[in-house]
Each structure stands twice: as C-alpha cells, then as structure tokens.
Amino acid sequence: MDEKEFNNVYTIPANYTDSGRLLGGMLEVRNTIEAVFLVLLIGYPELMWLPFSPIVKMILMTITLLPLGVIALIGVSGDSLMQYFFNMCMFWIRRRKLHFRRIGYRYENINRNRKRRVLKGNGKEKRKA
C-alpha cells in the first residue's frame, strides 16, 4: 500500500510580530507618541521664543531635538522613556541601604555607652546590658 507523507511544516511570515507597531514594525506606538510629545514640547519654545535667525534656530533644533527624538523612539532597555524614568524614580524611593559588618571592627565602644539597668526578681539581682 502506498502511504503518503504529509508535510506539516509551515513558514512563519516575516510580518508575524509586527502587530501593534508603526512603519512596518520598526517603531512601537507608545514610543512614537512619547517622541512626538517631547519634540513638540521642547521644539515649540525653541522655534517661537528664541531671538535668533532662522538658520541658528534650525541648527539648535537639529542639535537638541534630533537626538531627543531618536532616543525617545528607540527607548531604554526595551522600555519607553517614561517607563524608564518611572522605574528609576521607584528605585530611588524604595532602595535599601545595606550595611555589612567590617572585619576586625569591634563593637565594644557601643556597649560602653549604654547605661546598665539592675533588674530585681526572686531576691537575686540581675544585670542587663
């Protein structure tokens, strides 16, 4: 009897993971919105309020807005800029300071400064440091 071989291997299309992204999967929507907002927020005052000639304004905007927009579009460590800044703020709020006992450090000075109390009970005196 003839047995037919079935090929169950399917190719995954190149745009499979591009859902929820812009420009063919290059930019995330959140990063794009944040980049446009930051560029407009900083670009409008540079364009309208600086008392320079248009050429100088264009140079200043190129130096400041272009890197800001590119960094906002790329993000930091896979997060958007606002997520990164939020994570950094939460780290600084919740951070812990670790103290380790030093080798050779003596704690005798701490015990000398404490006052000793005398506890009475059952007719015997007990000292507690």
Residue ranges covered by each domain of the chain? 21-128
CA–CA separation, 61 vs 1, rounded Å?
76
DSSP designation for 89? H
pLDDT band at 10 (very low <50, low <70, confident <90, very high): confident
Task: Give the torsion sign (CA, 106, 108, 110, 111).
Answer: positive
pTM beyond 0.75: no
- pLDDT tens per residue, range 25-61: 788 999 999 999 999 999 999 999 999 999 999 999 9
